[in-house]
Structure 1
């Protein structure tokens, strides 16, 4: 996952964490699990800052990079983020090994799911959470999906996930397992470059009106979370607006 565009960040307590596990998700994406920091309290959809030591122009220095959490708050044995390899920060993080200690700060961010407020618009409860993600933008929506399902909340969840090819689908096995184990969870995977993926027999093309209508029968009863590259988020927001979705029903997180 690349760094989200963020407003001014208010200083938050830093924590030392140990890298517990690294998993290769796709050719250029890895998930990183860290020990759960003492006193750390976050909401689904928030992000952390990781302090990374790098060498730039022959000079050793520290840089901070923001990465959304993919873990859910009740997973208190660890916190997890999913990172796409791009730039000095992710390159340095990819060099770290199991057992290494890093410094993080956070949590930050307003792209959150809060049961008591996130499913209410215009004073009424919304019963359908729709998560739209592209590529490594899955990270925060995955945290939200994990939280809702692990908490057994009485909400319907539809996850629309767009990727270039099926080989780029992060956490595919887990998403398919969610579909098999939870009646209130529906998954819609689509690839935008099917010509490069002859073995793919699922949905193809960009997220469009047809796909939205297939996933959401009543847009007035849904709260939409859009996460991914700016072009994807803007496209989906415009599409939802054309379908009559109120802007208060749309939460967005754009990545560089």
Structure 2
């Protein structure tokens, strides 16, 4: 679920819900029929409008959603953390066959073209949704880009798409996956557990100034990470940011 301001574009595409599933604690994925003519780049988002909402408030019936599915995949997929907000309670009750409207996909949180420049994704929580799309498409296309994903959650149970991401790491020799669980039981989790800082990044990025960085997650986390990267010499133009609120 994104925290971006709604652009209030006229909805263009109607999509029907095929299925939904819980993919992590309090996190739901929704799979939609891909409307005819609907095209997008991995990492794009679009505004979703609910049909016949219980309320007429535009802020309740519309939200900007990142597309977690990759362009090559047959279905569209969105994912969100479920909370007590009116919008999220509405979508949690969606049943198969529910129809919504999507507008034109857009956004600049997409993989850079220069294959010689590494990409480092530093992601928190449900901020993984556009990155799942980017990594899936890069793996499918067998892109030569060197990709590193540092993905922080509290526990494995709260981390969405772990199975997918581990699978991409097995298939794609150019992709390094670094999951971090900051509150996991040490008897059940042997991986990284520290907060993301300069030391953590340097552990997995040999030349910290070489990559283009993609930061996505809660606004406070994104702000702190951006400041940290700038302090260690990363150019501001090499940092791309998406902020997710509404957890």
TM-score using structure 2 length: 0.90
Q: Structure 1's 22 and 37: CA in aligned 2 closer, same or farther, altered over 3 A?
A: same
**Corresponding residue for residue 3 of structure 1:** 2
Please report how far the alpha carbon of residue 63 of structure 1 lies from its aligned counterpart in structure 2 after TM superposition: 1.2
Q: Distance in 1 between matches of 2:188 and 2:80?
A: 26
Deviation, structure 1 residue 212:
0.6
Q: CA deviation at 1:246?
A: 0.8
Deviation at residue 55 of structure 1 after TM alignment: 3.2
CA RMSD of aligned residues (A): 2.1
Is there any run of 5+ residues in structure 1 with no aligned partner, and where?
A: none
Tell me the equivalent position of 1:71: 69
Q: Is the 8 A contact 1:12 1:107 kept in 2?
A: no
C-alpha separation in 1, matches of 2:3 and 2:150: 19
The corresponding residue for 1:163 is: 153
Residues 213, 119 of structure 1: alpha-carbon distance in 2 compared, 3 angstrom cutoff: farther
2:205 is aligned with 1:206: no
1:140 to 2:130 alignment: yes
Question: 1:24 is matched with which residue: 22, 25, 30?
Answer: 22
Normalised by the length of structure 1, the TM-score is: 0.87
C-alpha distance after superposition, 1:41-74 (max 9, x if no partner): 2111111222124435xx7987111110011112
Matched, 1:241 2:230: yes
Q: Residue 250 of structure 1 aligns with which residue?
A: 239
In structure 2, do the counterparts of structure 1 residues 242 and 60 end up closer, same or farther at CA, with 3 Å as the change threshold? Answer: closer
Report what 1:103 is aligned to: 101
Is the CA contact 1:9–1:108 (under 8 Å) kept in the aligned structure 2? no
Task: Give 3-state SS (helix, strand or coil) of 1:186's partner.
Answer: strand
**Are the structure 2 counterparts of residues 51 and 13 from structure 1 closer, same or farther at C-alpha, using a change threshold of 3 Å?**
closer
8 Å CA contact 2:126–2:244 kept in 1: the answer is no
Deviation of the 1:9 alpha carbon:
2.1
Q: How many residue pairs align between the two structures?
A: 242
Shift, 1:92, TM fit: 0.9
Long gaps (5+) in structure 2: none
Partner of 1:88: 86
Structure 1 residues 187-217: Cα deviation after superposition (integer angstroms, max 9, x where no partner): 11112223x6642221112111122112211
